Amino acid sequence: MNRLLLWSVARLAPVWQRLGADPRALRLILASKMKIGDRSLKMMGQTRGKSSDYTILIYCLLFIFGSILVFLYLAIDDKATAVGMIFTFISVYLGFMLVTEMTDTLFDTRDLTLLYSRPVTDATLSLSRGLYVYLFASKFVLPLTIPLGLALLYLAPLLVPVYALLCVLLTVIVVSMTLGLYLTLLRRMSPDRLRRVMGYLQVVLTTLFIVLYQLPNLINLTDSGDGVFDLRIVGTAWGFCWPGFWLGGVWDSVTYFGARPLSLVQGLLGIGAAAVGVRYYVSQGSNYGSQLMGVRIAGSEPADDSPEKNLTPVFFARYRNWWGRLTTRTGPERGSYRFNAALMTRDFNYKQQVYPGLLIPLLIAVGFAGQRLVAGGDPLGPGGVITSLYIFAILIVSPLVSARLSENFRAGWVWQTNPVERLNPILYGQLMAVVGLFFVPVGLVVYVCVGIVAGAGVFDDILLSLAAILLASILFQYTERSLPFSQEKNAGGFQAIGPMFLILFLGSLAGLAHYGLTFIPYGVALGTVVAWVVCLLALRGLRR
């Protein structure tokens, strides 16, 4: 596939030349980057040494997802809206991938000294990065879009070229918008601020994409089949809300010559967005090399718990220290707690993986509580309450699972050269960091909201679920054999995800047992006492 993509790039040499780049240098840089990328494939949060099997698996999964999208096309009567919906799903997924995986590529300064010390222009440099990201994105778009392409071959063969063109346009729009935004930040911000802002932006965008994916569920779009069949977005004012629908406008305009006027406008917007996006990206790329060099040599800001800074970090730092003193002993326990707490609040990759996931229970809980406070209504039934209580296990499991992985895993030598007498104190310190940093503050809000939604009668349910969730996380730590932030992202295959499956399985069983106890008089109260005793014993065992 690389050869095909590079061949396509070579065919467009005059275009690159007009944009101020050296086509030969561009092709050479791209070929090298793709070779390196394939040998250390980085996708879906995984960095793989041996890429071939894993690549095939990812493409197969995407192909299956693409096949599901065919049903969406068949289900929706208005085909322009169907195509718009499909492109919207793909664009959200692609945007998510670009934000999580390719930001580093755009701001990668490791090869900068190598390239920028050679006679390579800024345009060549920025275009090579942009094209690399585009080619990376294309590799994902292809398996996602091929199933519908094949279906169209059967259903409407004449529309296949239109569909193919729209797929290209979609990739161009999403890539140029995402990268254009980043390049704008690179130009407008001082390099030392950029690092911090980028970290937050990644978290915010990742959250946005996750929420967008959940949106159909949240607005009950998929509950009723009728709602889906009759859905009509392209050609209406809603069609302006996301670029995927603009491309639906192109589809509408091309396939039905008497298209709705708004479809025509949306179609023009789609084509214009792709052209403007590319032009904008190129214009923002001037002076790219020296800006990047600025990022490379920029100083770092002081740690966010500096006492000289504003009140929030001071409060947070005090709370962090207080929690550490309260729950850990001096020595490896406290050392591990402090180390984990610092990394968990500063490591961009960790924040990106964990923080958006924490916001979702928070948003759901606050949303439901707000709705009940404003609109009233009956409290949730026991089944609903218990399900939501156990979903909140994500507040502790997700931060723990990610706390052993690090982009900077090579710094884990520190665990090897120093005497780690026993693993348990280290893992206990890590658990306390997760509980103190995430579970307590976010959980407080979430459980208050649960109280509002379900009433004060669920207090014992909350206590029981808390014990069960803590017990699950202690079991996770028991099964854990790796030191904090010392594993490469791809470490271990099933070995890496096995303990998490175990915890999810046990969590589900605990939830089921909890539900069963609600049918027994005083069952939940007795269960709570037993669960807390077991939980405290397990915690004591971990500290030994």
Partner 1 sequence: MPPALELRGLRKSYYQKPVLFGLDLTVAPGQIVGYIGPNGAGKTTTLRILGGLDNRFDGEVRVLGIDVRKDPLSVKRRIGYLPESADLYDVLTPAEFYDLVGSLHGMEEPRIRDRAARLEEYLGLSYRRNQRMDSFSKGMRQKVLLTSILLHDPDLIFMDEPLNGLDANSVIRVKDLLRQLTERGKTIFYSSHIMDVVERISDRIILLNDGRIAANGTFAELNARAHSDNLEHLFTQLTGGRAGGEGPRFNLDSDE
By CB under 8 A, name the binding residues for partner 1: 298-303, 305-306, 330-332, 334-336, 338-339, 342-343, 346-347, 406, 408, 410-411, 413-421, 485
Which of 232/334 has CB closer to partner 1?
334
Contact 507, 401 (CB under 8 A): no
Residues ≥6 apart with Cβ < 8 Å to 451: 458, 459, 462
In this complex, which beta carbon is closest to partner 1, that of residue 317 or of residue 531?
Answer: 317
CB of 441 to partner 1, least distance (A): 21
CB of 418 to partner 1, least distance (A): 4
Nearer to partner 1, 193 or 346 (CB): 346
- DSSP string over 238-292: GGGSSHHHHHHHHHHHHH-TT--HHHHHHHHHHHHHHHHHHHHHHHHTTTHHHHH
User: Which residues lie below 8 Å from residue 21, measured CB to CB, with a gap of 6+?
Assistant: 121, 123, 124, 127, 128
Q: How far apart are CA 432 and CA 328, in angstroms?
A: 8
Q: Distance (Å, rounded) from C-alpha 398 to C-alpha 445?
A: 18
For the chain, state the CA radius of gyration.
26
Complex with partner 1: residue 40 or 224, whichever CB lies closer:
40
Q: From the CB of 315, what's the least distance to partner 1, in Å?
A: 16
By beta-carbon proximity to partner 1, the closer residue of 40 and 222 is: 40
Give the Cα separation of 339 and 333 in Å (integer): 10
For 133, other C-beta atoms within 10 Å of its C-beta total 24
Smallest distance, Å, CB 189 to partner 1? 17
Least distance to partner 1, CB of residue 303, Å: 4
**Cα(471)–Cα(78) distance, integer angstroms:** 50
| Residue closer to partner 1 (CB basis): 360 or 420 | 420
Read out DSSP for 355-390?
A: HHHHHHHHHHHHHHHHHHHHH--PPPPHHHHHHHHH
Distance, in Å, from the CA atom of 225 to the CA atom of 209, rounded to the nearest integer, reads 24
DSSP character at residue 224: -
Q: In the bound complex, what is the minimum distance in angstroms from residue 488's beta carbon to partner 1?
A: 12
Nearer to partner 1, 331 or 381 (CB): 331
For the bound state, the minimum distance from the C-beta of residue 402 to partner 1, rounded and expressed in Å, comes to 15
Residue 335 CB, nearest approach to partner 1 (Å): 3
32 vs 321, beta carbon nearer partner 1? 321
